[in-house]
Amino acid sequence: MFTKKILVVALLTLTANSSFAASLADMKPYIEAQINYHNPDDVSSNTLSGASTHNGITTSASIRIENEYDNETAAGVEFGFSVSDNSRIGFAYTRPDFELDKITLTGTLTDGTTTLTDAGTFSRDQLATVGPADTFDNEVRLLSMNYYYDFDLSSEIKPFLGFGVGIANIENAKDNELALSLHGGAKYYLADKVYLGGKASYSQIQGPTDGFGFKYEDIDFWTATLALGYEF
């Protein structure tokens, strides 16, 4: 599990890298257009100590939930620059919209007329009988700074490894949260400055708190990225 200690190590690694001594003239900018396929794990909450109301839905006391989300495809963009022959820094943005598929309750949700009751798993349509179906949906604006190390496999193919540190702005969360990522992939050069890239990422967002007061566990998800890039 990622912790804040990893953030400290990541920042120290970036700032200690001798390649940062490279002059601006040596930095080779690049830009990528990306398609990202996100696969989130189920997300569990803590147990609320008392009843709470949000979006017209009232929870019972001592309720706990687990949300299952659909996979999501979202566009993204990354721009950055080389800081040495094999190292580069990239700044990425993507905005996946994770839509609730199922919710598992230990407790009850009610609008005062209809009640979803304890120890059951309910679909999105069933949730809509007690309140807005999108109550537990989460649009995530994800901004990250990534460090990559490119390996010189050949003039056409460059595998890479990397890590990222960023901020997640989650629609139904009270605060922005820390996001950490690990990356692995490769670039295939179609021409001197044009490449097709593939990347697999494992990311974790620090557990947010929503409008009901649920405190969630850290959010883990995998991402597969297809990118078309240009180096200036």
Neighbouring C-alpha atoms within 13 Å toward the C-beta of 164:
27
Residue 46 to residues 43, 125, 218: CA-CA distances in angstroms? 10, 24, 11
Rounded to whole angstroms, how far apart are CA atoms 16 and 73? 35
Please report the pLDDT score of residue 9 as a whole number.
Answer: 58
Please report the pLDDT score of residue 16 as a whole number.
Answer: 53
Instruction: Write out pLDDT tens, residues 212-231.
Output: 999 999 999 999 999 999 99
Is residue 54 in a domain?
yes
Is residue 99 in a domain?
yes
Is residue 119 in a domain?
yes
Please report the pLDDT score of residue 120 as a whole number.
Answer: 82
Is residue 204 in a domain?
no
Rounded to whole angstroms, how far apart are CA atoms 28 and 99? 38
Please report the pLDDT score of residue 156 as a whole number.
Answer: 93
Residue-by-residue DSSP string for 165-197: EEEEEETTBSS-EEEEEEEEEEEEESSSSEEEE
Is residue 122 in a domain?
yes
Is residue 211 in a domain?
no
As a whole number of Å, the end-to-end CA separation of the chain is: 37
Residue-by-residue DSSP string for 18-72: GGGGS-GGG--EEEEEEEEEEEEPPEEB---SS-EEETTEEEPTT-EEEEEE--E
For residues 51 and 108, is the Cβ–Cβ distance under 8 A? no
Query: Residue 11 sits in which domain range?
Result: 4-146+160-199+219-231
The domain total for the chain is 1
Stated pTM of the model: 0.86
Please report the pLDDT score of residue 118 as a whole number.
Answer: 75
One-letter amino acid of 222: W
For the chain, the C-alpha Rg in angstroms (whole number) is 21
Residue 129 sits at the vertex; the CA angle it makes with 172 and 98, to the nearest 5 degrees, is: 35
Is residue 96 in a domain?
yes
For residues 80 and 30, is the Cβ–Cβ distance under 8 A? yes
Residue 64 sits at the vertex; the CA angle it makes with 59 and 70, to the nearest 5 degrees, is: 100
Ranges of residues in the chain with a pLDDT under 70 are 1-25
Please report the pLDDT score of residue 148 as a whole number.
Answer: 98
